[in-house]
Amino acid sequence: MPTQRKSMDNINNVTEFIFWGLSQNPEIEKLCFVVFIFSYAVILLGNFLIIVTVCIGSLYNSPMYFFLNYLSFVDICYSSVIAPKMITDLLALQKSISYEGCMMQLFGIHFFGGTEIFILTVMAYDRYVAICRPLHYMTIMDQGKCNKIILGAWVGGFIHSIIQVALVVQLPFCGPNEIDHYFCDIHPILKLACTDTYEVGVVMTANSGTIALGSFVILLISYTVILVSLRKQSAEGRRKALSTCGSHIAVVVIFFGPSTFMYMRPDTTFSEDKIVAVFYTIVTPMLNPLIYTLRNAEVKNAMKKLWNRKIFL
């Protein structure tokens, strides 16, 4: 009985975690503060502009822009789970987060991150149908099916995240409580547990790895088929298809490259992890609006119409 009581006390011993942050150098942290507050502003404004353009600019009924609308919303949510806390911590003397706050952040990261992976995969399938089966496109990707697909992406992200969090909350944390990162993520947290986490790490890696690698393989197959089928298209058709797919491929590479590096390996951490994490937590959500607007004539035209409408009203 005393042993069991001691075990329970150990589980509840850690009430907060301390982040080491991106750097221990105050000057570098001040520079990072300026850079990341600008980046977060671009994320919010850019993705919000896409959402407004799609919803008001008569693009919402198109499956491609329907999914782009939700991708922008997920990007805002995903970055908001991490960026505000990270930015304020850059100027804080002690970068702390409560145990409950850490678990909520962990849930949010994997919920929105998993949902984004599924949406990017669905967008690849949408491009495959549009290019390879254009006559049946609106039948296959009707509004009802798109609603079910996007619901499935949210449910998939939730299931993925709840598994991750459920495996972490049952671990005992009795100290130390310092996380060598700037947010609560799986590998740094597992290093602090007062028990052997090998089996938990394997399950988590299998969970995240299956989603990341499986989705990446589906994306590669989709775009390989698309590129092969483009040989039969006219020059104008190839140009338009490559422009649209090029935007998506750029987003996929920027997002999947760093995230695969982070989650497709066992329970180990590297000094480069924090820099790599910046790419899929800050850089990708910031570049998504730029990539999809600068390389998409239809979105740019819709934005111009909204801007002109606002001027002349």
Instruction: Read off the pLDDT band of 197 (50, 70, 90).
Output: confident
Q: Please give the residue range of the domain that contains residue 198.
A: 2-312
Average pLDDT over every residue of 15-26: 86
The CATH number of whichever domain residue 303 belongs to comes to 1.20.1070.10
Contact 128, 136 (CB under 8 A): no
Residue 7: pLDDT above 50?
no
Q: Which of 43-47, 68-72, 183-187, 269-273 has the lowest mean pLDDT?
A: 269-273
Supply the mean pLDDT for the chain.
82
- Residue predicted with more confidence, 313 or 97: 97
Which of 164, 171, 203, 210 is CA-nearest to residue 186?
Answer: 164
> Which pair of tokens denotes residue 184?
């609560």
Residue 4: pLDDT above 50?
no
The total domain count for the chain is 1
Give the per-residue pLDDT at 296.
Answer: 66
Which of 17, 69, 20, 59 is CA-nearest to residue 176?
Answer: 17
Q: Provide the whole-model pTM.
A: 0.86
- Residue predicted with more confidence, 93 or 234: 93
Phi, psi of 127, deg, nearest 5: -65, -35
Q: How far apart are CA 171 and CA 167, in angstroms?
A: 7
User: Hunting for tokens 């549009």 — which residue is that?
Assistant: 130
